[in-house]
Amino acid sequence: MIIGVIPARFGSSRLMGKPLAEIGGKPMIQWTYESACRSKLIDEVIIAVDDEKLFEKVKEFGARVHMTPNDIATGSDRIAHVAKDLYNAEIIVNIQGDEPFIPGRMIDEAIEPLLFDPKVQVSTLAKKIETVEEYKSNSIPKVVFDYNNFALYFSRSSIPFVRDAKSNLAKIKQADIYKHIGLYVYRRDALLDFTNLEKTDLEEAEKLEQLRMLEHGYKLKIVITDFESISVDTPEDLERVRKYYERHIKDNLFA
């Protein structure tokens, strides 16, 4: 059984009450849930919340919801808290709660490696960087991977460094440079093991929890996607996604 879990934290430091932010007459968490339900491989979607108001709103639009402690530090830990009781789930999909219009096919792309190769324990997504702004942004993690598409390193820095390029634009034209998209697919045991591991030096330095897996010897399968998903971290992001709704979703152009 494949279960999608959406961690939804009410107390975001940059956008308080983010999951309940309205987009086109619906809270953002409802859009994310409905988008996740478009996956053809996920059997059920659960929302893991940390706030009573959020809990009631999710129940109101009919999704399965789990209350989790509000002192849980990360989305992965919140998902693991739910996964402990999902004994029939073989695969757990971590779907970010702040990506309201994530394509269902994008989710399925990330799941497929675990269906075809029993040795793959964790998979995640990457997309080729096409703009200098993305390449330079410290808020967009970059990933480099080997010829078998297993991650070598994640960084907020602009990696790889293209030594012979004369400009940032030349770098993204001369080399395949990828941004990491934070959707993860775990085998249930791998998720529970990961969240019990000690935090690591590189994880603390970069503030990227996926480095904990690499430092402890886990192999992360990278799936290259052509799909894009808009995440909401700030009030400016929220306005951007509302404009996207007006241009695309409102007229039923999103599928």
pLDDT (tens digit per residue) in 163-220: 998 899 999 998 999 999 999 999 999 999 999 999 999 999 999 999 999 999 999 9
**Per-residue pLDDT at 183:** 95
> Which positions ≥6 away from 166 have C-beta within 8 Å?
none
Distance of CA 224 to the CA centre of its chain: 14
C-alpha distances in angstroms, 113 versus 91, 108, 109, 116, 186? 11, 10, 8, 5, 11
Q: What is the phi/psi pair of residue 225, to 5°? A: -120, 150
For residue 11, give the 3-state DSSP assignment: coil
Is domain 2-115+182-224+232-249 in CATH 3.30.1370.160, yes or no? Answer: no
Give the model confidence (pLDDT) of 102-130 as tens digits.
999 999 999 999 999 999 999 999 999 99
Please say whether the beta carbons of 101 and 254 come within 8 A.
Answer: yes
Give the model confidence (pLDDT) of 143-169 as tens digits.
999 999 999 999 999 999 999 988 999
pTM for the model stands at 0.91
